[in-house]
Copies of this chain bind each other. A is one copy, B any other.
Amino acid sequence: MSYAQFLSSKLEAAGADEGCMLTVETAGKTYKGVLMPHHEFSGQDIVILKVKSGYNIGIRVAADAKVIVLSRPAEHVRQKAVEETKPDLKTIVLIGTGGTIASYVDYRTGAVHPALSTADMINAVPEIKEVANLKAKVLFSIFSENMTVDRWQQLAQAVADELNAGADAVIIPHGTDTMGYTAAALSFMLGDLAKPVVLVGAQRSSDRPSSDASSNLMAAARFCVNGNRAGVFVCMHDTPSDDSFAIHCGTRVRKMHTSRRDAFRSINVPPVAHLDREGTIAFSGAGRAVSSARTEARTAMEQRVVLLQFYPGMDPVLFRDVILQSKGAVIAGSGLGHVNENMVPLIKEATDRGIQVVITSQCLHGRTNLDVYNTGRDMLAAGALTVLDMLPETAYVKLMWVLANVKGADAVREAMQTPLAGEMGDRRLIDE
């Protein structure tokens, strides 16, 4: 969608091309910034300005607004709009999936649509082109609550293909709702991949003054280029301001707030690294360095796995079919991983049928231990398996992956209790 007639006339009359620094005076307020490309799905009366803080803001322009051009872009800035490949920079492929980071508010309806192309995203952060050569692809355009196991598989394969075709890193703009689950899925599917894969989201859509889309994307790119760390990560704000960005391990991260920009938290481990506003990277520990090895995507998943939270009053009769019709069940128990004594016979029945029952804790923080209390011992005797400090959501994803990629009940149990992608402590190293 292009500008409304009155607005394109007004911009033309002022000589306001994209890249110009200008002021817009409308509805009693004056805004100053660099004119950005008009988004296809933004309202016809909206202009997007990149303001001094680096944010892109959308401004509804009234018919009587005044537009004044303050300066024109230097020639080298305008040239940047042309796609160019700098031989001294690394190559990052962006694989778009949708989500708020790729969203624009439709100012006519007030609704938010997942509409921004990955190329639009790059253009909204022109300074990112100083950091790396970027290529943009769109794989999905969905909100992440609609992510499916099938789409995880497609995404993992697409990432492996890009890395094997020569990309130095992949960045995946993703809706935040289920970004933690997807990060875990890619972590297991891509195994010991040799390069960085970073999921990045936004809690505010890109045309809002407070959007965190550009700054998260920039931090992710800097980590990919300068971090020399292979693996699957999530990059988001570490604080409500733009001062600090956290790189989280893909199997240890959870969305812990519905709306804050620093909603994502590493649970039971510190973040892998922090970046400041200038891109300086501070690691919290050692990790796997980047190498030139090929990346294999092992995408098979057993989809008949369920994730359940235990609660007082949980009726084993009601959940009998849910558990017995599955191949594996992850239960977020209370405290150290407990369930009500009434649930124990159902666990026994399930494990007798070869269904893997994996116990995590709804506390999220800390580790499970069924050796302390009688309830836990009964659960172990019934065949339940604990997985130390693994998140319930990560255990759910891992169990799907292990059941499809590891053969034999004993090997499955062993794999579930062994760290494959940083998802749990190592019981061989923990002082019980």
Interface residues, chain A, with chain B CB atoms under 8 Å away: 111-113, 143-149, 152, 175-178, 181-182, 255-260, 263, 303, 305-315, 318-319, 321-322, 325-326, 332-341, 361-369, 372-375, 377, 392-393, 396, 400
Q: In the complex, which residues of chain B have a beta carbon less than 8 angstroms from the beta carbon of A263?
A: 363, 365-366
26 contacting pairs across A/B (C-beta < 8 A): A111-B377, A112-B374, A143-B373, A143-B374, A145-B375, A146-B340, A147-B340, A149-B312, A152-B312, A175-B335, A177-B334, A177-B335, A177-B336, A256-B365, A258-B336, A258-B361, A258-B363, A258-B368, A259-B366, A259-B369, A306-B318, A307-B314, A309-B332, A309-B392, A311-B396, A318-B321
Q: Find out whether the CB atom of A363 lies under 8 angstroms from the CB atom of B178.
A: no
Report how far A311 CA is from B259 CA in the complex, Å: 19
Query: Could you tell me if A181 and B111 are in contact, using CB atoms closer than 8 angstroms?
Result: no
Given contacts A145-B335, A178-B334, A263-B365, 16 further A-B contacts (CB under 8 A): A143-B374, A145-B312, A147-B312, A148-B312, A177-B336, A255-B334, A255-B363, A257-B366, A258-B366, A259-B366, A263-B363, A305-B313, A306-B318, A307-B314, A308-B308, A309-B309
Task: Check A313–B149 contact: CB distance below 8 A.
Answer: yes
Asked if A146 and B341 make an inter-chain contact with CB atoms under 8 angstroms apart, the answer reads yes
Residues of B within 8 A of A148 (CB): 312-313, 340
Question: Which 8 residue pairs across A and B have the least CB separation, nearest first?
Answer: A258-B366, A177-B335, A145-B338, A177-B334, A257-B365, A257-B366, A149-B313, A307-B311
Which B residues are CB-close (under 8 A) to A309?
307-309, 332, 392
Q: Name the residue of chain B whose CB is nearest to the CB of A317.
A: B325
A373-B112 CB under 8 A given contacts A146-B341, A263-B363, A335-B177: yes
CA distance A324 to B152 in the complex (A): 30
Complex contact B373–A260 (CB within 8 A): no
Q: Which residues of B contact A257 (CB under 8 A)?
A: 363, 365-366
Cα distance A86–B211 when bound, in Å? 63
Q: Which of A111, A260, A303 has the most CB of B within 10 A?
A: A111
State the Cβ distance, A384 to closest chain B Cβ, in Å.
Answer: 13
| Residues from chain B with Cβ under 8 Å of A369 in the complex | 258-259
With a 10 A CB-CB cut-off, give which of A258, A334, A375 has the most chain B CB atoms.
A258
CB–CB A256/B364 < 8 A: yes
Contacts of A368 in B (CB 8 A): 258
A311 x B258 contact (CB < 8 A): no
Residues of chain B with a CB closer than 8 A to A322's CB: 318-319, 322
Residue of B nearest to A341 (CB): B146
Task: Report Cα–Cα, A91/B147, bound state, in Å.
Answer: 57
Decide: A338 and B307 in contact? CB cutoff 8 A: no
**Bound CA–CA A112/B336 (angstroms):** 13
- Residue in chain B with minimal CB distance to A175: B335
B-side contacts of A392, CB under 8 Å: 309
Kindly state the separation between the CA atoms of A87 and B212 in the bound complex, as whole angstroms: 62
Residues of B within 8 A of A336 (CB): 177, 258-259
In the bound complex, residues from chain B placing their C-beta under 8 Å from that of A258 are 335-337, 361, 363, 365-369
